[in-house]
Structure formats: structure tokens, C-alpha cells
Amino acid sequence: MRQGVWSKGRALKSVNDEPRPAGSTARPAARDRASASAPTADRSPAPPAPLPPGARPGRPRRSPVRRALDWGPRLAVFAVLAVVVGVLIGPRALTGRDGDERTAPTAGPTGAVSPADPASIGRWRAGTGDYTDAGGLLWKPDAGVAVGGTLASTDAVVDGTGNPGLYQSQRVGALAYRLPVAGPGSYLVLFHLAETSGARAGGRVFDVTVDGRTAASGVDVAARVGPLRADWLAVYASTSTDLVEVRLVARAGSPAVAAVSASLVRSGTGPAATVWADEFDGPAGRPPGAAWTAAVGAGGWGNHELQYYTGRTANAALDGAGGLVLRASRESYTGADGVTAPYTSARLTTENSFSFTYGRIEARARIPDGIGLLPAIWAMGVDLPTAGWPEAGELDVVEAPIRAIGSIAGIVHGPDGTPAGYSYGGRRPPPADVASAFHTYAVDWYPDVIVYSVDSQPYAVVARADLAPGERWVFDKPFYLLFSLAVGGDWPGDPPRGQAFPQDMVIDYVRVTR
């Protein structure tokens, strides 16, 4: 099992990785890539719709500075020592073949995964009676699951959450939590924490253990976020019965917990299994496999972007060394619709071939850090054509407008009754060699909770329980995958004349495990 602890926007001292399924370990060091012939122009791209399919109509985009400021209350900004697993490599060049055009596949292998049973999530709040929170979620009293401790309450407002009432009652001094679950399996146990009694940094410190092993060391909410502010702590635990036990070990003062939930990761006692994967093996210059459909067109893509997405191997192709390259080029390009754009690039999707509900999305990639670039690995709700954005939901595994915000980000977008919707998640400094080495970007997505990590170092948690009234959780349905490399626009801003092109995003693999 994996025992790990994650705190929203902060990496704690101990994070242990869940063993990967057989055959899904990190690939060997990438080989040097030979130089490629120059990409060729596409002669007849498929005609785009007036508004490109999958664009985000009506999504307001702000300037990089304004957006960074707007993120402040919701995205935790922090410094973290990343464990670098990428391997420094030489240049990987995109290989194109003269006259080789790619027709966007319209179908591919099926691989949809059914959603987990809603009963696979359990919730308990400090107290002796049922509690319905601001979002309508029902929490059972923790009196039957907590071992020891006394109840304490406050009328003070807890910041950093849309659901402050959840944190105003706490159990202080509990020794353990014994949580009834659906049956044998792996679970993500999420603790909702806040310092509401005035303890200062160092005054309330505790460890968390699972099966006798330390999952979290030195948990100190006051030191991490200060008083009267919501904090989160996520731990993986497995069981061969219908009970999960997590123990709290006090170092200073007494642990205080407002609420706890347990989300099913997978049933049974076996290791994680690969649901779907693409390793991008194949000869150089070959288009990506049938699972991937190329979005084609200009139109700004809801962000006033400058590129024309094409279906050419000049913009998306295998590199012959186990990677997929998305290339953004500075070139005047006129599509079949007569629209001319100053840049070309690629946007690929599994919308027509693969979607899934819940699991771990993991991509090993080398991400460009040029000015005016927005590389992204993300997922969209399958009902986007009918529901629209943001009602369909968006789950960004990583967005990396590095020069605009100085960070990489993991964000979810959902509906709140406004055109812009809500945005929750976190950001962290990019790895120092983000543009020259491969790093693993991942999101663990399970009922009620989404966790972001880079190189197995978690940095953000998004919990359903912390949505404000009017904000709807739309992450219990199938989503499909996307890769994109956008150029310019409201966010991250346009590239300067001196910015070198082409710029490549190279993806070693993408895997969905459960």
C-alpha cells in the first residue's frame, strides 16, 4: 500500500509512494534524439467550426498579473524541495516527413471506466449528531469512530474554505480513528484541520501512523497556515476487512480534528492496475496512435490565443525514441477556412476513444518554459458539448505558463452560476530543469477529493467539502484527456519577438491507474 500524507499547498515531511503495478515503473533514461528534417506545411487541414470544438466559450481570461492576484486566496503558494526523477537529456527533435499529413482519427480503443459507487465515500464530523454542511453533504458524528478525545467548538469564522461551519467543531486529543468502509480495499483518508483554540506554532504537533508505519511526521497546522484557517491532510490506507484505522500520536499538545472522510481508491487487496496507457513507441515522424484526435483551427480557443492548431505531423508526432512531441512553430499559416495565424501548434484529445471516472492520471513530460507559452496536460468532462464550460468541469493535471506566473499549477474548474466558474487547486515552483529534463506530473482523483503532485511530491488538495454554497462538484463522471501547447493570449501573454521557436513539449508516457 502507499502511505502518504498530503497537505493543501504544502508538502509534509514524509511521503511514501504506493508501489506501481507491474510494468508501470518509470521508463529508462531517454536516449539522445537525432536532429530532424524541417517540418513541412500542411496542405489541407480539416475545416474548423466557427468556434473550435472544445474551446471554452465565455471563459473570461485576465492578464497574468490579475490572474495571479485572483488566485491568491485559493491557490497556496509555497516552496518545496522536489525529488527530481527526470534524467537530463540532449535535444529531442520533432521528425517530419515531406508531404506527410495526419488525418485526425475519429475513433479508437474503448476504455471507459464506470464511476465508483457513491456509497464508497464515508464522512464524519466532530460531534454527537448528524451534520449537514453548507454544500448539502451529510456528515455522521465522529463519536462512533474516534478513539478518545473531547469535543470543542468555536463561533469564530474559519478562512480558506467555502464551508467554515465544518471546522467550528473539533475533537481534541483523539488517539485514533476507526472508520467503517465498504470492504477490503485501498482508501484515501482526508483529515480537515484548523487551529481554532489559539495554539501557536509548535504548540500542537502530532504524527499520523497507518499499520504501525509513520505516514505523517510533525503535523503543525498553526505553523503551516496560522490560526483560524482550514488545512487538509490526506493519507492512504488499505484494509482486508471493512475497517480502516489511522492513529494520531501527539508530540506537543493534543491533536485536533474537525472532520475526516474515507474515499475508495480501489476495491480488493491487490496492487493498482493500469486502466489505460500510451507509451508513444513507434518510428520517428509517425502520428500519435488512433486514440488521439487532433483539434484543428484557430479562433483564439476562448483565450485569444495566437496559434492555429493543425493535424500535421509537423506539429505532433512520435520522435522514434519513445516520446510524443507537440511543437509550436512561428510561421504564417492559412487553414482551409481561410484564417491565417502567425503560429502553429497541436492540441490532442481522447474525446472519441477513452474516458474514465476516478483514478491516477500520470504523465512524464518535458515542458517548455518559453515566454508566452501555455503547455498543459488536462482532462474535460465528456458532457462538454451539451453542458458547456464550466458546467462540464475541467481537471488540469498541470498548466505551466511558467514565465507568466513563475509556477506550475494544478487546478480544477467548475460551475458556480457565473461564466467564469470557480477555480481551486495549488501551484508550486517548477523543477529547476523543467525544460531540459523529464518530470512526472500526476493527479489522484477519487470521490470527494483531488490531489496534485510533481515527482511524487504532493502540493495541493481540492476537497468537495470545501466548496462554497452555489459551487457544484462535477467530478463524479467520465472525463477524457487532452494535451495542448498554446501560444499567446490573455494568459500567459504573447511571446516577444526575441522568443526562440520552435518550442516543444515532449511526453514520455501517459497512464491512468486505479
Catalytic residues: 394, 399
The C-alpha atoms of residue 157 and residue 163 are separated, in whole angstroms, by 10
Preceding peptide of 390 cis, ω within 30°: yes
Residue 120 DSSP code: G
The C-alpha atoms of residue 290 and residue 352 are separated, in whole angstroms, by 10
Please choose, from the candidates 33, 35, 37, 40, the residue with its C-alpha nearest in 3D space to the C-alpha of residue 311. Answer: 40
Please choose, from the candidates 253, 256, 258, 194, the residue with its C-alpha nearest in 3D space to the C-alpha of residue 226. Answer: 194
Tell me if residue 246 falls in helix, strand or coil: strand
Please choose, from the candidates 8, 9, 5, the residue with its C-alpha nearest in 3D space to the C-alpha of residue 209. Answer: 5
Extract the C-alpha cell encoding 281: 513507441
Are the beta carbons of 378 and 394 closer than 8 angstroms?
yes
Helix (H) or strand (E) holding 375: strand 373-381
Please, which residues have CB within 8 angstroms of residue 338's CB and are 6 or more apart in sequence? Answer: none
Tell me if residue 166 falls in helix, strand or coil: helix
Angle value at C-alpha 204, between 201 and 208, nearest 5 degrees: 120
The total of other beta-carbon atoms located within 10 Å of residue 289's CB is 17
Phi-psi region of 252 (alpha: psi -120 to 50; beta: other; left: phi over 0): beta
| Type of residue numbered 454 | V
Strand partners, 140: 124
Please choose, from the candidates 33, 55, 11, the residue with its C-alpha nearest in 3D space to the C-alpha of residue 366. Answer: 33
Extract the C-alpha cell encoding 282: 513507434
